[in-house]
Amino acid sequence: MKTFKLIPFLLLLLTMAMPASAQKKTQKTYIPWNNGKLMVSEEGRYLKHENGTPFFWLGETGWLLPQRLNRDEAEYYLEQCKQRGYNVIQVQALNNVPSINTYGQYSMTDGYNFKNINQKGVYGYWDHMDYIIRTAVRKGLYIGMVCIWGSPVSRGEMTVEQAKAYGKFLAERYK
């Protein structure tokens, strides 16, 4: 009689274990830009890809990601965002003028002269930003980059000309 009670229990355990083992298979990363560049729809009401596939922006705000997280922490954070279904991580490139990251590297090593921003042998501020963007791309995530808030200009920490130079630098670096 005890054998008959044990069989349904074992069947129940077996049924519960099967979906768990099926979930352990690695999921293929969905790469949204395989549908082409993002663009605004003809009627200006939504985002879509070049091939017409609609794009729903489900964003997480990691504003201070480049300043606060190291490489391992950024990798973990972006993986968690991917697992939770986000497709855009909104990041602020600079929080202050200049900004400093977790590695102690400044965003502006020579004021607003961006020609020598990459220092040989130094994992600089923008190298870290590049790493974050490459990691997000590998995970199928967009980075929605806010270049800088308007407050540094309004506080007099950055002139309009300096803001334009900084914007030009970002536009060229992250085409």
Burial class (CB in 10 A: 0-12, 13-18, 19+), 27: exposed
Q: How far apart are CA 58 and CA 76, in angstroms?
A: 19
Q: Which residues contact 75 (CB under 8 A, 6 or more apart)?
A: 135
| pLDDT at residue 102 in the model | 95
The region of weakest confidence among 6-20, 30-44, 45-59, 87-101 is: 6-20
Average pLDDT, the chain: 86
Is pLDDT above 90 for 52?
yes
Which fold, 57-173? TIM Barrel (3.20.20)
| pLDDT at residue 20 in the model | 46
Residue with tokens 């954070």: 77
Categorize the per-residue pLDDT at 2 as very low, low, confident or very high, splitting at 50, 70 and 90: low
Kind and range of the H or E element at 57?
none
